[in-house]
Amino acid sequence: MIYLMIRFNKGKRKAEEHWQQSTVQKIADLGATKSLEILPLIDWHTSTSHEDLKGEAGVSYLIKTDENSVLFDVGLNSRQSDPSLLLQNMKQLGITTDDFDIIVISHNHLDHVGGMKWQRRRSFSLTTHQIELGEKAVYTPILMAYQGLNPICTENPTVIAKGIATIGAISNQDFLMGRILEQALAVNVEGKGIVLIIGCGHQTLSKIIKRAEALFEEPIYGVIGGLHYPVTDSRYKVMGIKIQKYLGTCKLPWRPITIAEVQENIDFLKKQNPKIVGLSPHDSCDASIATFRSAFQNSYKEIKVGEKIIM
């Protein structure tokens, strides 16, 4: 416990020092897309219109712009089934690996890379084994590997396609999981602004927004994805233990996230006046989602597997 406390405090100081010392240049040549479609392939809730779709405490979104399609994260595959829930859902939705040309991994956590096996290997997989993915471009926040591919480490902000950029890796320190480096995607929708697509939000919402403001002239139009607000419950449990309340909060385990903190983040986000907001249920409880839904009302979008969010 003493070691963990020392590591946590040291890691927090380093993460904050890194943030304070980091400088980014405006991205002037991002370009824009006229259309943006986000289709959840893995998340906790599923569409009631598709009875055969399965949910889990992981994330995978198919993001389509005018010219590109991005697979953002690859889910959890908690039971390590083959085919995975991701591949099963893709089949139900008529999607194959030919339907995306880019893969982006938000961070190296099991619920985003296909399971603990792949997290430990600093890799990722769409099912229990690494399938052939052709010559797809892959962008990861840390050095990662995939057989037959050459993932590019985008520690710094990087334009990856017309109108699409990663905002670069932002670090934080978790008490039990150690250092976390996570990146989010930014998509510039013509005439509207920047839509941020987030995996877990370990970076903190405020730093994600501040980084986006430093990178882009365009306003924040939308915020979609995970922000890790497991206030009253955890989707992922082990022997009845509410794992998400203690892992990944980047706080001391005995000081869990409160609904008051969720409200503070909502108040901060409201100042950006976003037109689209959707909170992933994979790592946030129903109480947090209800608070977001109430705060943003008609601007709020439910994130459910099989239901497209179109802008």
- Both structure tokens of 25: 């240049």
Using 50, 70 and 90 to split pLDDT, how confident is the model at 51? confident
Range of the domain at 51: 2-310
Check residue 1 and give its pLDDT: 85
What is the average per-residue pLDDT within 204-221? 98
Check residue 28 and give its pLDDT: 87
What is the average per-residue pLDDT within 251-259? 95
- Residue 85: partners with Cβ closer than 8 Å, 6 or more residues away: 42, 54, 55, 56, 75, 76, 77
- Both structure tokens of 237: 């449990």
Check residue 171 and give its pLDDT: 97
Rounded Cα distance, 13 and 243, in Å: 25
Beta strands in 109-249 (DSSP E): 137-140, 152-153, 158-161, 164-166, 170-174, 178-182, 185-189, 193-198, 220-225, 237-238, 241-242
Check residue 239 and give its pLDDT: 87
Q: Give the rounded percent of residues in the chain with a pLDDT score beyond 90.
A: 96
**pTM of full prediction above 0.85:** yes
Check residue 191 and give its pLDDT: 97
Side-chain-facing half-sphere of 3: CA atoms under 13 Å: 3
What is the average per-residue pLDDT within 118-139? 97
What is the average per-residue pLDDT within 267-286? 98
- Structural domain total, the chain: 1
Rounded Cα distance, 39 and 94, in Å: 12
Q: Give the rounded percent of residues in the chain with a pLDDT score beyond 70.
A: 100
**Residue 52 region, left (φ>0) first, then alpha (ψ -120 to 50), else beta?**
alpha
Rounded Cα distance, 150 and 234, in Å: 35
CATH number of the CATH domain containing 73: 3.60.15.10
Check residue 240 and give its pLDDT: 87
Tens-place pLDDT, residues 187-207:
999 999 999 999 999 999 999
- Both structure tokens of 169: 């890796």
What is the average per-residue pLDDT within 80-85? 96
